[in-house]
Amino acid sequence: MQHLATDKVIPTEHIIEALEAVIKSGDKVVLEGNNQKQADFLSRALGQVDTDKIHDLHMVMPSVGRPEHLDLFENGVARKLDFSFSGPQSLRIGQLIEDGLLEVGAIHTYIELYARLYVDLTPRVALLAGFKADRQGNIYTGPSTEDTPALIEATTFKNGIVIVQVNEIVDDPQDLPRVDIPGSWVDFIVQSDQPFYIEPLFTRDPRLITDVHVLMGMMAIKGIYARHQVQSLNHGIGFNTAAIELLLPTYGESLGLKGKICRHWTLNPHPTLIPAIESGWVENVHCFGTELGMEDYIAARPDVFFTGPDGSLRSNRAFCQLAGQYAVDMFIGATLQVDADGNSSTVTRGRVSGFGGAPNMGHDPGGRRHASPAWLDMRTDQNPMTKGRKLVVQMIETFQDANKPTLVESLDAIAMARDYEMPLAPVMIYASDVTHVLTEEGIAYLYLAKSPEERRAMVAAVAGITPMGLARDPEETARLRAEGLVAYPEDLGIRRAEATRDLLAAQSISELQQWSQGLYQPPAKFRSW
Amino acid sequence: MQHLATDKVIPTEHIIEALEAVIKSGDKVVLEGNNQKQADFLSRALGQVDTDKIHDLHMVMPSVGRPEHLDLFENGVARKLDFSFSGPQSLRIGQLIEDGLLEVGAIHTYIELYARLYVDLTPRVALLAGFKADRQGNIYTGPSTEDTPALIEATTFKNGIVIVQVNEIVDDPQDLPRVDIPGSWVDFIVQSDQPFYIEPLFTRDPRLITDVHVLMGMMAIKGIYARHQVQSLNHGIGFNTAAIELLLPTYGESLGLKGKICRHWTLNPHPTLIPAIESGWVENVHCFGTELGMEDYIAARPDVFFTGPDGSLRSNRAFCQLAGQYAVDMFIGATLQVDADGNSSTVTRGRVSGFGGAPNMGHDPGGRRHASPAWLDMRTDQNPMTKGRKLVVQMIETFQDANKPTLVESLDAIAMARDYEMPLAPVMIYASDVTHVLTEEGIAYLYLAKSPEERRAMVAAVAGITPMGLARDPEETARLRAEGLVAYPEDLGIRRAEATRDLLAAQSISELQQWSQGLYQPPAKFRSW
């Protein structure tokens, strides 16, 4: 190997030979694919190795997001895959499984995959990505530190080999903005042929937020956040929760809630959070990863964001997922299907899409021992043996589109388990963890249900005109509302007519930029005003 | 501050002035107290600051293990405490609370405390400990990395100030055995007046393992580990589980189990694991912290332990707790009290001892989505919506001593909650998470219980001659045994007469050293042979 590298630097054009020298057939190889940082140069190079030399690799990947990730299986370099999320590649994974070219080890949440790196999935080789390196291998990951610390530690300290692709190699260590990964943890660096792929995944254009989203956001703020005194939280990435972010400085302010709720966040740096930050709602935000365009704004708000002395974000998915699991009062997010009991799934037939982080943040962590007002408010008795609970809120419209109800009798995940002979159905969030279901019809306070039957009646009560909703017993629904187990907007003192887009603190990307005093720089695809 | 330091180095004799210059009254201050690594020089210095200048600090500490930690509250430097474990200081914490000198924020497990550092307990100052530093602040923590990465990241990247005490400062960065923490994350280093305090907490002398421990160990191996195919696990630190470690190469081998169970461990480097490692049972061990005397042995077995290129252990409590939570099949440990339902606690009246890591590892993590044979074996039906479970085993003798039963009607934790007006009782492991209770009488397979009543009958069936055990219905016990819900040794084909210390692979510290081929160097207190 030493003839292929100068000190730690592998010349770009030698990368395929270098991989052939380092990797052995059958090796466990961690390939860094995150939501937003891709070791794509290394994955393309790995796809070009001589399959007589390297085959049947066992790939371990947080996110399988790029076509070249799956080329590895099609051409025989790799055989087995342990992963967390596949997103755009989910359909092709299903096809490769059916074709017998890809064997799934298991599908995980992000942090349970990291956890297994220290137990039974310890890698022999790690292929990672950073922005810059010096010749000693010190790495600047910039705002996209993401999964790198969790992946590298398991490899470096178990005699594995670490190769990091970077966009740029600097000669003088002083030219690194900061050190995110110490050079002594890195065996080799290589400058990629082009900067690693990154896209703005978490930017929601306020123009696409509807009046229905606003109504649901108002119900969330008044009927859940304020009622339970939610201080710390994680938001999903949909338009529903973006609406809430944009309602805090307007509707939330009118209810006198500033400083009382939503002070601490575990969240990517959503541009839709800018008005709430600028209005003084947000004390701090810890991030899984970053978001393109937010760089200058983040640098100007080190009081809110976790940053380095260089001003750029320090994200860390392992710690942020841990915080989202153990330290926050509430998880709220959307999903594609909810069944009559309240179980949810994002599975669609034929797509093996994985779990990402939702099941981790969207469950009541049984190891939690500290209390907070919101957590204690989930108790239904005062027995000192009764714990509080994390709030886990499913926020959904009753229909995905005109013909596709979100509330269904049976999850597609069950058919999926049968199709792929999975040991169990890929459920995203189990009913036993869900405390609230919120639709445009109302809120079902499921944590108050006294029986499984009552629980199902509560879900049906907010199921609108889906078949599940139409089958409900009106008298039972009236009882649930009278007893406070279900609340419709009018029960919360919210008039549907008030719920309009006018309430949003920003109604376009351009207005978000104004809130940021020009610091937020929207990527080109969002500059359509 | 700059006049007190040269570059990053604070002269030892200036530390009190330096702390007075850096810290402000009311600050949140993380003080590194771990099980085995103590920023004790910094805590003593903090105890000597002028309380006119610094008072009412909010201390955040994983472990409060040293008398000087509590001196801070007695003299008024600090006022509020968030912590995880207090061990030997538990009685004094209780007294300080009663005296109105100390206010507890909350008591946590280790990783939920780390998690809160990124949410609502972000520190302004971190006082940490390492073995060596260079003048740029690069830190060698050696085998005691422990909590440092989790504590420093939350401080460094949120504009906090990091001060690290080290035993030695080297001029040439090349003289550091390796870099555990990059210098750019550290603001100041100071050489301590004496090396930080460390003691061997997890060494169990095989001479103190009894025949009863051996009997229980045999039941565990045959009735739990082999039955459920436990591949990955965490052991508690008592003599019970030490017995299991020493029975694997003898009794376990005789059952033909090598390579089939106990391959992957999350565990401190227990000396009692040496015979199993040397016999080829153990593929790898990831560690929370280290254990004195194991240094040379660990350096010789990088195939098993996570080490740096220098040969010394890389421990990491955050990742190891994560692995123990999410990646292993089983947690097994002892406790002081188990109630009739199976809830457990280590609380004794007046002692505010904290949780440590047990509740985190001793629960069924609701966010787990990957399957393993042992995990799936906990299912009681084949419904694809039914998840597997982590095995959570309470391994206890029925009596603590002649007059003190372990199995009790009500936990002392309930009285404790009343005494200190805690929002809920400090339960270590909840009955709903416990899958097995193992005593010298037998194993109760609680995960099979079909009702709370049957569950209580199962606990009573293994409660021996405690009041709980004496009150059991013999016919019901016979039914539970006949149906396989409870197993006594004879039901497992284990003869009590076989269970003797002769079965232990090593019967003394000296024999452990022989197994290690002289590499294990027992600390003086264990060299009594």
Whole-number Å distance between alpha carbons of B447 and B434: 7
Are A264 and A246 in contact by the 8 Å Cβ rule? The answer is no
Which of A282, A369, A414 is the best residue to mutate to test the B interface, defined by the most B CB atoms within 10 Å of its own CB?
Answer: A369
Domain A206-503: CATH superfamily is: Glutaconate Coenzyme A-transferase (3.40.1080.10)
Whole-number Å distance between alpha carbons of B462 and B459: 6
Cβ–Cβ gap B414/A385 under 8 Å: yes
Is B427 in CB contact (< 8 Å) with chain A? yes
pLDDT tens, position by position, B9-50: 999 999 999 999 999 999 999 999 887 889 999 999 999 999
| CB burial readout A451-466, b (16+ within 10 A) else e | eeebbbbbbbbbbbeb
Percent over 90 (pLDDT), chain B: 91
Is B129 in CB contact (< 8 Å) with chain A? no
Non-local CB neighbours of B374 within 8 Å, separated by 6+ positions: B228, B229, B230, B231, B329, B330, B391
Within 10 Å of residue B152's Cβ, how many Cβ atoms? 24
Nearest to B371 among A308, A370, A424 (CB): A424
Are B64 and B83 in contact by the 8 Å Cβ rule? The answer is yes
Cβ–Cβ gap A118/B343 under 8 Å: no
Q: What's the pLDDT score for residue B392? A: 98
pLDDT tens, position by position, B502-511: 999 999 999 9
What does pLDDT average to over chain A? 96
Non-local CB neighbours of A385 within 8 Å, separated by 6+ positions: B343, B414, B424, B425, B427
- Helices in B75-123 by DSSP H: which ranges? 90-98, 110-117
Which of A179, A409, A424 is the best residue to mutate to test the B interface, defined by the most B CB atoms within 10 Å of its own CB?
Answer: A424
pLDDT tens, position by position, B119-144: 999 999 999 999 999 999 999 999 99
Is B474 in CB contact (< 8 Å) with chain A? no
Percent over 70 (pLDDT), chain A: 99
A400, HSE (Cβ side, Cα atoms, 13 Å): 13
Residues belonging to chain B = 529
What's the gap in Å between the CA of A85 and the closest CA on chain B?
A: 12
B265 against A2, higher pLDDT: B265
Q: Any long-range contacts for B460-465 (C-beta under 8 Å, 24+ apart)?
A: B460/B340, B461/B486, B462/B398, B462/B437, B462/B438, B462/B486, B463/B398, B463/B405, B463/B407, B463/B439, B464/B398, B464/B399, B464/B407, B464/B439, B464/B440, B465/B398
Average pLDDT for A317-344: 97
The answer, yes or no, to whether residue B477 has pLDDT greater than 80, is yes
Q: What's the pLDDT score for residue B352? A: 85
Nearest to A108 among B159, B231, B369 (CB): B369
A94's enclosing H/E stretch is: helix A90-98
Residue A125: beta bridge partners? A29, A161
Whole-number Å distance between alpha carbons of A475 and B40: 66
Q: What angle, 0 to 180 degrees and rounded to 10, lies between the N-to-C axes of helices B67-74 and B90-98?
A: 10
Cβ–Cβ gap B115/A326 under 8 Å: yes
Q: What's the pLDDT score for residue A156? A: 97
Q: Name which of B287, B290, B211 is nearest B247 in CA terms.
A: B211
Q: What's the pLDDT score for residue A297? A: 98
Average pLDDT for A292-313: 96
pLDDT tens, position by position, B202-235: 999 999 999 999 999 999 999 999 999 999 999 9
Nearest to B284 among A107, A111, A122 (CB): A122
Is A414 in CB contact (< 8 Å) with chain B? yes
Cβ–Cβ gap A376/B326 under 8 Å: no
What does pLDDT average to over chain B? 96
pLDDT tens, position by position, B221-279: 999 999 999 999 999 999 999 999 999 999 999 999 999 999 999 999 999 999 999 99
Whole-number Å distance between alpha carbons of A379 and A369: 14
Is A417 in CB contact (< 8 Å) with chain B? yes
Whole-number Å distance between alpha carbons of B209 and B359: 26
Cβ–Cβ gap A118/B327 under 8 Å: yes
| CB burial readout B476-490, b (16+ within 10 A) else e | bbeebbeeebbbbbe
β pairing state of B125-134 and B139-140: antiparallel
Are A102 and A113 in contact by the 8 Å Cβ rule? The answer is no
Banded model confidence at residue B420, pLDDT cuts 50, 70, 90: confident
Sign of the alpha-carbon torsion through A80, A84, A86, A90? positive
Cβ–Cβ gap A232/B114 under 8 Å: no
pLDDT tens, position by position, A40-71: 999 999 999 999 999 999 999 999 999 999 99
Percent over 90 (pLDDT), chain A: 91
Tokens of B448: 């099979």
Cβ–Cβ gap B112/A384 under 8 Å: no
Among chain A residues, the shortest Cα distance to B83 is held by A370
Cβ–Cβ gap A367/B364 under 8 Å: no
β pairing state of A125-134 and A139-140: antiparallel
Nearest to A326 among B112, B323, B362 (CB): B112
β pairing state of B125-134 and A344-345: unpaired
The answer, yes or no, to whether residue B163 has pLDDT greater than 70, is yes
Non-local CB neighbours of B490 within 8 Å, separated by 6+ positions: none
Whole-number Å distance between alpha carbons of B207 and B212: 13
- Strand spans (E) along A135-294: 139-140, 161-170, 188-191, 232-235, 264-266, 284-286
Is A81 in CB contact (< 8 Å) with chain B? no
B153's enclosing H/E stretch is: helix B148-156
On chain B, the residues whose CB falls within 8 A of the CB of A387 are 424, 430
Quickly tell me which residue has 């972010």 as its tokens: A245
Non-local CB neighbours of B231 within 8 Å, separated by 6+ positions: A120, B261, B262, B263, B264, B329, B372, B373, B374
Cβ–Cβ gap B106/A370 under 8 Å: yes
Among chain A residues, the shortest Cα distance to B319 is held by A115
Whole-number Å distance between alpha carbons of A41 and A139: 17
Non-local CB neighbours of B523 within 8 Å, separated by 6+ positions: B199, B200, B203, B292, B293
Whole-number Å distance between alpha carbons of A275 and A218: 16
Q: What's the pLDDT score for residue B36? A: 82
Phi and psi torsions of B59, nearest 5°: -85, 135
Whole-number Å distance between alpha carbons of B438 and B391: 12
Banded model confidence at residue A529, pLDDT cuts 50, 70, 90: low
The answer, yes or no, to whether residue B473 has pLDDT greater than 60, is yes
Nearest to B369 among A122, A306, A355 (CB): A355
Q: Name which of B61, B122, B128, B125 is nearest B93 in CA terms.
A: B61
Count of CB pairs separated by less than 8 Å, A with B: 248
Are A8-191 and A206-503 the same fold in CATH? yes
Is A317 in CB contact (< 8 Å) with chain B? no
What are the boundaries of each domain within chain A?
8-191, 206-503
The answer, yes or no, to whether residue A390 has pLDDT greater than 90, is yes
Q: Name which of A338, A337, A372 is nearest A351 in CA terms.
A: A337
Tokens of B14: 């200036």
What's the gap in Å between the CA of B57 and the closest CA on chain A?
A: 20
On chain B, the residues whose CB falls within 8 A of the CB of A307 are 157-159
The answer, yes or no, to whether residue A88 has pLDDT greater than 90, is no
Q: What is the DSSP letter of B460?
A: H
Nearest to A366 among B283, B318, B433 (CB): B433
pLDDT tens, position by position, A426-453: 999 999 999 999 999 999 999 999 999 9
Are B164 and B8 in contact by the 8 Å Cβ rule? The answer is no
Within 10 Å of residue B248's Cβ, how many Cβ atoms? 25
Is B307 in CB contact (< 8 Å) with chain A? yes
β pairing state of A404-405 and A399-401: antiparallel
Phi and psi torsions of B5, nearest 5°: -135, 150
Tokens of B193: 């007046």
Banded model confidence at residue A350, pLDDT cuts 50, 70, 90: confident
Are B135 and B169 in contact by the 8 Å Cβ rule? The answer is yes
Banded model confidence at residue B529, pLDDT cuts 50, 70, 90: low
Task: Name the fold adopted by B8-191.
Answer: Glutaconate Coenzyme A-transferase (3.40.1080)
SS3 state at A401: strand
Cβ–Cβ gap A314/B153 under 8 Å: yes
Is A362 in CB contact (< 8 Å) with chain B? yes
Is A255 in CB contact (< 8 Å) with chain B? no
Average pLDDT for A385-401: 96
What's the gap in Å between the CA of A1 and the closest CA on chain B?
A: 18
pLDDT tens, position by position, B270-310: 999 999 999 999 999 999 999 999 999 999 999 999 999 89
What's the gap in Å between the CA of A104 and the closest CA on chain B?
A: 11
